[in-house]
Structures are given as C-alpha cells and as structure tokens.
Amino acid sequence: MAILVNGASSVLIQGITGKQGSFHFRQMRAFGTNIVAGVAPGKGGSRFEDIPLYETVQEACEHHTIDATVLFIPAAFCKDAALEAIEAGIKVIVIITEHIPVQDELIIVNRAKLKEAVIIGPNTFGMASWKCKLGILPNVAFSPGPVGVVARSGTLTYEIVGSLTNVGIGQTSVIGLGGDRVPGSSFVDMLKRFEVDPDTKCVVLVGEIGGNAEEEAAEFIKTMSKPVVAYLAGKSAPPGKRMGHAGAIIERGKGTYEGKVKALTAAGAQVATFPYEVVEKVQTLLGHA
C-alpha cells in the first residue's frame, strides 16, 4: 500500500511539545500514525498526553524500536537534532523545518547518505502513506489508492492530491521532497521506489522551475514501466533567486519551464498545464474517465 512507511511503522516526534509539534502530533495521530515516543529536552521521564517523553533520541531508541522520526525543531537547532536521529540509526527522517542554513543541510544530507538513512525535506510537508502521516499535510487531502505522488512544493501538492481524492482516486504514498536548495531525497530516489511498489499504478510528479531535478527525473522516467503525469509550477513566475555566473554555469540553460516540459515529454511523461488537468490525465490513465 505504500513506500517507506505504513500503518505498522513506529514513529518518534522530535519537538513534540512545541506549538507546531503538539498541533501536528494530534493531527498525525488522528490520521492513524503509530506515534510511540517524543523527544523534549528537559521533560524526559514525563508524558505528553499518553506519549512517553525522552531527553534524547538515543534514549527513546533504547526503549522503543523507531522506524521513522519527524522533526519540529527550530532551524538553528535542526542540524544537531537531525544528526542525533541519524546517529541513533533511524532510517526515515522527516524534517519539516524551513530556513535551515545551507551549510547545515549539506552536513545533514551527506551524513544521512553515509548511514543509509532517507531524509524527507527539509522544508517539506512531509509524507503520507496508508495510516501513516509524517508531517503537516492536511488529513482530508489524502486517501488510500493506486497513485504515487512526489513533489517539490507543498500546498500545490495538497491542491492536486485533494482533487484526486475528490474524484475518488487515492494514493499509495504522497512524498514532499521539500523546497530547499539541498533536499535530502530526489525525484529519482522516490520514482525508483514507486516503480517497484506493487500497489502503485501510476505516478504524479509535481515540479517547478529552477534547478535540474526534473531533468534528472526525466532520464529515469525513460526506464520506467509505470506511467507518469507531471505538473510544473512557475510558467509565468519570475525566475527565482539566481546565483549569477556560477549558478548559470552549473545549470547551463537547464531549469527553465520549457526545458523541463521538453525533457519530461521526451521521456514519455504527460505534462499538465494546470493543476486540475493532472486529475483528468490520471483518470484517463487509470480508466476512470
């Protein structure tokens, strides 16, 4: 029914007692997520509602088998919190926090790669699978079904997933890669998982202008057996923050709306011009029309 996690996964929340952490703890639990522990320095040994709290991730891992952790940690402390989770051996780490300094992100994602942990984010809505939501996407948007969704931007994904749900098309997993310069996971990482997931029949890719993640995805889509529908935001938007010469040299004309559409179309993906067209295309592919 899903990639990375499912209803049987045991979940830790780092920063569970904070404003965002406590609000989304309740939302996640209402979704069905099996939350087994929380980390809240200074409050170890007590409980938050009925959830046991620990001083450190290591301590939580000594008392529970943890499959995944979600971080609701302020940007300045996120590097340490993420490294703590990686070193404790947790394999799925969801970092919701935005505005993490890019140097900190580099350390986090490279350390995770070394320890074979999957990072979702930073600056992401997280992910949802069958009975397991790790993050902040609204519960009402998601429903179980055959479509895998992987996205760079959050609210646009709610838009598309919500529309799919409204017409009765559910999802295996919905993954938010995050909007930062150095995301922990790429489109290709997730497309590989959807390709081998027996329940995923078709994949929706939500991209945007800038960077070359969509161009890389296009290369992998060429090899996929499952159909892919893509939507790219930013057709009319001003180009994002450009980095001058060096950025231009790395990208060499990649990153434009037209270039991405061309790469994806050539790879066999169907590209929707507007969010609501994604639903029409998926309906046709699944024979729901």
18 is known to lie in a ligand binding site: yes
Q: What are phi and psi of 13, to 5 degrees?
A: -120, 125
- Residue written as token pair 């409050």: 43
**Residues of this chain that bind other proteins (CB under 8 A):** 20, 24, 27, 75-76, 96, 98-103, 106-107, 109-110, 113, 125, 136-138, 140-141, 151-159, 162, 179-183, 186, 206, 208-209, 211-213, 216, 233-238, 243-250, 252, 273-276
Question: Which two three-digit tokens encode residue 79?
Answer: 């590097």
Nearer to other proteins by Cβ, of 99 and 222: the residue is 99
33 is known to lie in a ligand binding site: no
Q: How far is the C-alpha of 166 from the C-alpha of 229, rounded, in Å?
A: 18
Question: Which two three-digit tokens encode residue 69?
Answer: 């952790």
58 is known to lie in a ligand binding site: no
CB 52 to other proteins: min, Å: 25
135 is known to lie in a ligand binding site: no
CB 72 to other proteins: min, Å: 10
CB 8 to other proteins: min, Å: 25
Q: What secondary structure does DSSP assign to 119-185, as a single string? A: EE-SSS-EEEETTEEEE-S-GGG--EEEEEEEES-HHHHHHHHHHHHHTT--EEEEEE--SSSS-SS
Concerning whether 245 is annotated as a catalytic residue, the answer is: yes
Catalytic residue positions, numbered:
245
Task: Please enumerate, by residue number, every residue annotated as part of a binding site.
Answer: 17-20, 43, 96-98, 158
Specify binding-site residues for substrate.
Answer: 158
